[in-house]
Amino acid sequence: MALKDSTKGCECSQEVSEGELLTRLDEVLEEYRYKPGGIIPVLQIAQSIFGGYLPESALKRISLAFNKPYSEVAGIVGFYAFFSTIPRGKHLIRVCLGTACYVRGGRRVLDALKKELKVDVGGTTQDRLFTLEVARCFGACGLAPTLYIDEQIYQRVKPSRIGEILEKYRKTK
């Protein structure tokens, strides 16, 4: 299983094996295993090492290193929204479905994204370029419907503009 090297924040395309990633995780575990409260920082670093998600192999390794049951480590991951056990895309798309956005067409925007990306909410495109999520409110109700892609907000989005919006992200593969 080859994954993209994202441990240094680069967008390089160097392929790294799962074994190499687990070796990197072992180095982190050596540093944190005896530190009080070290499990959360290890999970954050591990998620970065594995390209934005925590595979089962990493969670098992972490549970063994901290001498915790696997269920406890998995419970921590499930509790915090920051963590994911599903591979994430390079770009995170969040569609607002708060009241104002919903009433002004947020659902139609979401449906257009699902159709264009061929994924459901919580899914990641096969090329791992996009992950689609929903949110309840961005605090931009007067600009509804809105969506975020990474840190960029799009206002008064029309379903017919989805292809145009996504195109600039596809060009930066």
54 and 75 co-located in one domain: yes
**Are 75 and 103 within one domain?**
no
pTM of structure? 0.65
Inside any domain, residue 84 = no
Number of domains in the chain: 2
User: Residue 70: its pLDDT value, please?
Assistant: 97
d(CA 47, CA 140) in angstroms, rounded, equals: 30
Residues 6+ apart with CB under 8 A from 103: 144
Identify the CA nearest to 166 among candidates 89, 100, 102: 89
- For residues 63 and 98, state if they share a domain: no
Together in a domain, 38 and 96: no
Q: Where in the sequence is the domain holding 98, given as residue range(s)? A: 91-170
Pairing state of beta strands 91-96 and 130-135? parallel
The 10s digit of each residue's pLDDT in 116-164 is 999 999 899 999 999 999 998 889 999 999 999 988 999 999 999 999 9
Query: Can you give the CATH number for the domain in which 112 is found?
Result: 3.40.30.10
CB 145 within 8 A of CB 109: yes
Same domain, 11 and 60: yes
The answer to whether residues 116 and 57 belong to one domain is no
Please identify, among 79, 100, 134, the residue that sits at the C-terminal boundary of a domain. Answer: 79
pLDDT above 90 for 87: no
- As given in the structure block, the two tokens for residue 89 are 């895309």
Q: Average of pLDDT values for 43-70?
A: 94
Phi, psi torsion values for 93, nearest 5 degrees: -105, 125
- Identity of residue 30: E
Mean pLDDT of all residues in 9-15: 50
Same domain, 10 and 33: yes
pLDDT tens digits, one per residue of 59-84: 999 999 999 999 999 999 999 877 88
Task: Give yes or no: residues 161 and 98 share one domain.
Answer: yes
pLDDT band at residue 173 under the 50/70/90 scheme: low
DSSP-derived letter for residue 120 is: -
Residue 86 forms part of a structural domain: no
